[in-house]
Structure 1
Amino acid sequence: MQSGPGGQPVLAAGTQGAYSRRWSAVHCGYSLQIRPLRLQDSGLYRAWLALQSPPINITRDFTLRVYEKLQEPNITVSSQITKDGACHITLICSLQQAGEDVQYGWAPLGQGAVMSCGGTTLHVSWTPGVSDSYRCTISNPVSQSSSSVPARPLCSASFLPRSLKKEFLLFLILGALQIE
């Protein structure tokens, strides 16, 4: 039994099962605590409040959501350099265990950048001087984390597929021969 408003006693009844040793009622304020809190504690709950004098019973349903601190996201990259020299980059931001209510974002977006509906993927036509790197930021209601990738190496000859490298090298040699 605990004190309620104006010192009136409130009955606090325990629960059985997994919570029987992990919950406690805070003396003031009609708060319940579950400690230690676990991810699997997320779900629907019902609380009953019973005042003895005057006799009042109150029932409330609520949803408990438990979140974890987010780890640093992984960025998967692919790029393609077209014959006209344009570099198209696709960046995919991911987490091993995303959990619920995770939001994704990219910066900078810039002109011509297209972000997928969920924000996990960014398509960019990159030109030198526009942006040195792209950053994926993830967040949930309790934490935020980010990771970045440099753009310039993705659009260099060393990142090109082997067949395109040969074409690029041949183009450079022919260009040099014409200069002389």
Structure 2
Amino acid sequence: MIFSWWRLCLLMLMISSQVYSARNVLCVVGESVNLSFSELNPGPYSEISWFYNETQKILLWEREEQTKIFETNMKTRIHLGDDNITLHIRQLRKEDSSTYKLQASLLSTRQELSEHVRLDVYERLTKPKIALSLSSNDNGTCLINATCSVEQIRENVTYNWIPLGQRTKASSEGIILSIRWKPGDPDQYTCIARNPVSNSSYTIFASKLCAGKTSRMSLKLLVVILSSIFSLLFVLN
């Protein structure tokens, strides 16, 4: 009896822990996509159903019946392909991202076949914007803190700062670039923003950003040198 209970518990655990593997499809907002089985029995079928978010039925095809499209925000943007199984979605929106389920019934045996397809819809990234903070040291070094960002902050975006040249202390990953720059150091730094469907970049030039800072530092240094010379002449006289 105890053994039977253990077998029952083990069976329930196995059922509850079953997971499915879904193909992943990446698309861009405003474009179109065709979703279908990756490997499918050639049919014929008696019924085809498409589900959004696995449970919400959005389309039903029955043999010798008119295709039914259910009332959802996708109703005017979906239709079934000529093969009576491929789901076509046009004018994709971000909210179309979901796990879709295709369920098909074989005409001969009534056997049900199903597959899940994960659709992720992203926007193309806009040109990054750069926020700057500049300061200077007395030793002639210009301190640059640059923050890179795009409008699509929730688009699974990654950032990299790429310097032109080898001698640099720039951080290679993340939205912030922090460097101590002086004339002769690498001048060009590019922020590259990426998401799964696009990338965009923006380049800054340290020499231009630090032009005012370095000139003011040079002026301060000149004032200090001249003051020292005049003081020395005064003492000698």
TM-score by shorter chain over 0.5: yes
Q: 1:133–1:151: 8 Å Cα contact kept in structure 2? A: yes
Give a deviation string over 1:121-143, Cα, whole Å, max 9, x none: 11112232332221111111211
Query: Offset of 1:42 from its aligned partner?
Result: 1.5
RMSD: 2.9
> Does 107-116 or 134-143 show the bigger shift?
107-116
> Does 12-21 or 66-75 show the bigger shift?
12-21
Match of 2:225 among 154, 175, 178: 175
Q: TM-score, normalised by structure 2?
A: 0.61
SS at match of 1:65: strand
Q: Rate the CA distance shift 1:63–1:15 in 2: closer, same or farther, 3 A.
A: farther
Amino acid in the other structure paired with 1:52: L
SS at match of 1:175: helix
Q: 1:115–1:123: 8 Å Cα contact kept in structure 2? A: no
- Give runs of aligned pairs for residues 6-155 of structure 1, distance below 5 A: 6=42, 8-12=44-48, 13=60, 14-28=69-83, 30-108=85-163, 110=166, 111-115=168-172, 119-155=174-210
Q: 1:44–1:62: 8 Å Cα contact kept in structure 2? A: yes
Give a deviation string over 1:119-168, Cα, whole Å, max 9, x none: 11111122323322211111112111111111012223x247xxxx5x86
Query: Offset of 1:18 from its aligned partner?
Result: 1.7
Point out the structure with max Rg over C-alpha: 2
| Structure 2 residues without counterparts, runs of 5 or longer | 1-39, 49-59, 61-68
Percent identity of paired positions between Structure 1 and Structure 2: 31
Q: 2:129–2:150: 8 Å Cα contact kept in structure 1? A: yes
| Structure 1 residues without counterparts, runs of 5 or longer | none
Query: Offset of 1:80 from its aligned partner?
Result: 2.0
Q: TM-score, normalised by structure 1?
A: 0.78
